[in-house]
Amino acid sequence: MADDKPAAAAGRRIIPIAPAPAGKDMVSLYEAHRKVYPRAIRGVFARWRWIMVFLTQLFFYGLPWLQWGERQIVLFDLGARRFYIFGWVLYPQDFIYLTGLLVVSALSLFLFTAVAGRLWCGFTCPQTVYTEIFLWVEKKIEGERVARMRLDKEPLSAEKLVKKWFKHIVWLGIALWTGFTFVGYFSPIRELGLAFLQTRMGSWEVFWVFFYGFATYGNAGFMREQVCKYMCPYARFQSAMFDHDTLIVSYDPGRGEPRAPHARGETQGPDGAALGDCIDCSLCVQVCPVGIDIRNGLQYECIGCGLCVDACNTVMDRMHSPRGLIRYTTQNALAQRGAATALLRRVLRPRVLVYATILAAVSIGLLASLVTRTPLKVDVVRDRAALSRIVAGGRLENVYRLQIMNATEATQRYRVAARGLDGLTVSLDDDPVEVAPAQARWVAVRLQIPYGSAPPGSHPVHFDIGAEGTATQVSEPSVFLVPR
């Protein structure tokens, strides 16, 4: 093993380890929280982060206000157990679609993470998005990073009190609006708004507005990066999807080191030693929303937001050095200093192709199943008390209960037929069965065969239920019992 060590070391992932804080010989098992004051920055990734904030929040805040016909476009009516999404009326029995959606979400996370690391965390995760919104408010009211740090250190003054109060009021306003919107997905939001204005909201609605609002306020205002560091499970297991060809935000130590403050164009330090491109301005550390130094290498705290890339590029521009001292790159590319084309070729590796294929298959399957869905469900329950009975006319009768679930938003009239045995006849009290929009109804159905026309035992039969005036048709199996 010893002789292949040097070769292995070149290709092996080496995580540069951050040195322990200087001057501390004994450390506690628990860490006191140090507040992070991220500095605002402009750049490609900062702009993408704001685009994602607008896209996701326009969707989240806006969607419940749209109408679909007479009702809200997306409404999860938990009380009635009906889930309205665009033209679909879903029943709890349609849970498989939620499963499909979660599988698609998980596979998307796998795919994006394999290609470019924690893209979800850095750009679209609600924790990131609300933290960004709250930070923006904080910056507008308390000022930039340095001003905020100074304000926090200052003794209490009228100005500090006003600023802090104002900030929290704006935060609470956003948080409560978020909670209100969240509840609006479960309780029609227009009526909810009216109920709020007339102070007659239901107690559970009030609870959830405040609970979700409080969670937003606490997580985006105070917990921030600690949610990602200590609480979020996705953050932890995403590292299992990283490999040497995953695009991650990296500092290029080969180009940057040895770092030292220096003027534009300087390549040698005062002692004559060669200088790297890093001028140790610490801007990359100041903009980091999780408070790490990317120059220490890949760290578990890094959410891959790319703000340090923006910060460093700004500095490199001013230094007239090429951009990309901190950039999205792969460990392989960094180790081999390969060309950009080689890097992109490695993106289409088997892992990515497998994830993409499964994701495409599940997505297409889910969509196809939704589009071709029959808006009718039927459960057949054979009566349990009596196996069968002989009725007038010497016929053998079995009784069934059919639960007919109308998954359309119009009243439907259903016809019930049965097949599978000679001389099988169907009788119902109400024929056709009328079922109100998005409602389910139990009906008793009797099947009869002439006595002696089938041998004793269990015989498979099928119920065919069709809606009048539509092509909707469902077939459900059951059995007909003939006694000995």
Partner 1 sequence: MSDFNSEFWSYFVGGVTLVGVFACMLLLWLTARKKIPATADNTTGHVWDEDLREMNNPLPRWWMWLFILTTVFGLGYLLAYPGLGSFAGKLGWSTRSEYEQEVAQANKELEPLYARFTAMKPEDVAGDPKAMSIGERLFMNNCAQCHGSDARGSKGFPNLTDGDWLHGGTPDAIHETIAKGRIGVMPPMAAAVGTPDDVKNVANYVLSLSGSPHDSLRASLGKSKFGACAACHGNDGKGNQALGSANLTDDIWLHGWGEDAIIAMINNGKTNQMPAQEGKLTDAQIQVLTAYVWGLSNKPAAARR
Size of the site for partner 1 (CB under 8 A): 36
State yes or no: residue 10 binds partner 1 (CB under 8 A). Answer: no
Q: Out of 383, 409, 464, 476, name the contact with partner 1 by CB under 8 A.
A: 383
- Segment near partner 1 (CB under 8 A); pick from 157-165, 278-286, 359-367, 387-395: 387-395
Q: How far is the CB of 299 from partner 1 (least distance, A)?
A: 9
Q: How far is the CB of 443 from partner 1 (least distance, A)?
A: 9
Q: What is the bridge-based pairing of β-strands 389-391 and 376-382?
A: unpaired
- C-alpha–C-alpha distance, residues 258 and 35, integer Å: 29
Q: Identify the residue whose tokens are 């990131």.
A: 128
Q: Out of 7, 29, 156, 197, name the contact with partner 1 by CB under 8 A.
A: 29
State yes or no: residue 401 binds partner 1 (CB under 8 A). Answer: yes
Q: Out of 200, 230, 372, 456, name the contact with partner 1 by CB under 8 A.
A: 230
Q: Which amino acid is at 276?
A: G
Q: Out of 31, 70, 271, 422, name the contact with partner 1 by CB under 8 A.
A: 31
Q: How far is the CB of 216 from partner 1 (least distance, A)?
A: 19
- C-alpha–C-alpha distance, residues 51 and 61, integer Å: 15
Q: Which two tokens stand for residue 291?
A: 């408070």
Q: What are the backbone dihedrals phi and psi of residue 218, each rounded to the nearest 5 degrees, phi first? A: -70, -45
Q: Out of 156, 274, 385, 471, name the contact with partner 1 by CB under 8 A.
A: 385
State yes or no: residue 273 binds partner 1 (CB under 8 A). Answer: no
Q: Out of 32, 156, 197, 240, name the contact with partner 1 by CB under 8 A.
A: 32
Task: Show the CA angle centred on residue 216, arms to residues 213 and 219, nearest 5°.
Answer: 145
Q: Out of 261, 390, 453, 473, name the contact with partner 1 by CB under 8 A.
A: 390
Q: Out of 2, 26, 273, 274, name the contact with partner 1 by CB under 8 A.
A: 26
Q: How far is the CB of 33 from partner 1 (least distance, A)?
A: 6
* Residue among 136 and 300 whose Cβ is closer to partner 1: 300
Q: How far is the CB of 68 from partner 1 (least distance, A)?
A: 28
Q: How far is the CB of 406 from partner 1 (least distance, A)?
A: 15
- Segment near partner 1 (CB under 8 A); pick from 67-75, 195-203, 207-215, 399-407: 399-407
State yes or no: residue 471 binds partner 1 (CB under 8 A). Answer: no
State yes or no: residue 429 binds partner 1 (CB under 8 A). Answer: yes
Q: What are the backbone dihedrals phi and psi of residue 103, each rounded to the nearest 5 degrees, phi first? A: -65, -45
Q: Which amino acid is at 300?
A: Y
State yes or no: residue 300 binds partner 1 (CB under 8 A). Answer: yes
Listed in sequence order, the residues at least 6 apart from 466 whose beta carbon sits closer than 8 Å to its beta carbon are 414, 415, 417, 472, 473, 474
Q: Is 466 helix (H, G, I), strand (E, B) or coil?
A: strand
Q: Which two tokens stand for residue 275?
A: 């200088």
- C-alpha–C-alpha distance, residues 436 and 281, integer Å: 69
Q: Which two tokens stand for residue 61?
A: 């805040």
State yes or no: residue 484 binds partner 1 (CB under 8 A). Answer: no
- C-alpha–C-alpha distance, residues 455 and 458, integer Å: 9
Q: Which amino acid is at 426?
A: V
State yes or no: residue 442 binds partner 1 (CB under 8 A). Answer: yes
Q: Which of residues 93-152 bind partner 1 (CB under 8 A)?
A: none
- Segment near partner 1 (CB under 8 A); pick from 52-60, 90-98, 324-332, 391-399: 391-399
Q: How far is the CB of 32 from partner 1 (least distance, A)?
A: 5
Q: How far is the CB of 376 from partner 1 (least distance, A)?
A: 20
Q: Which two tokens stand for residue 29?
A: 């098992």
Listed in sequence order, the residues at least 6 apart from 223 whose beta carbon sits closer than 8 Å to its beta carbon are 231
- C-alpha–C-alpha distance, residues 304 and 48, integer Å: 13
Q: Cβ of 192: how many Cβ atoms within 10 Å?
A: 20
Q: How far is the CB of 39 from partner 1 (least distance, A)?
A: 23
- C-alpha–C-alpha distance, residues 13 and 9, integer Å: 8
Q: Identify the residue whose tokens are 């903009």.
A: 287
- Segment near partner 1 (CB under 8 A); pick from 41-49, 108-116, 139-147, 439-447: 439-447
Q: How far is the CB of 403 from partner 1 (least distance, A)?
A: 11
**Dihedral angle over CA of 329, 334, 338, 344, nearest 10:** -20
* Residue among 2 and 273 whose Cβ is closer to partner 1: 2
Sign of CA dihedral 246, 251, 253, 255: positive
List interacting residues with partner 1 (CB under 8 A): 12, 14, 17-21, 24-33, 226, 230, 300, 383-386, 389-391, 397, 399-401, 429-430, 442, 444, 446
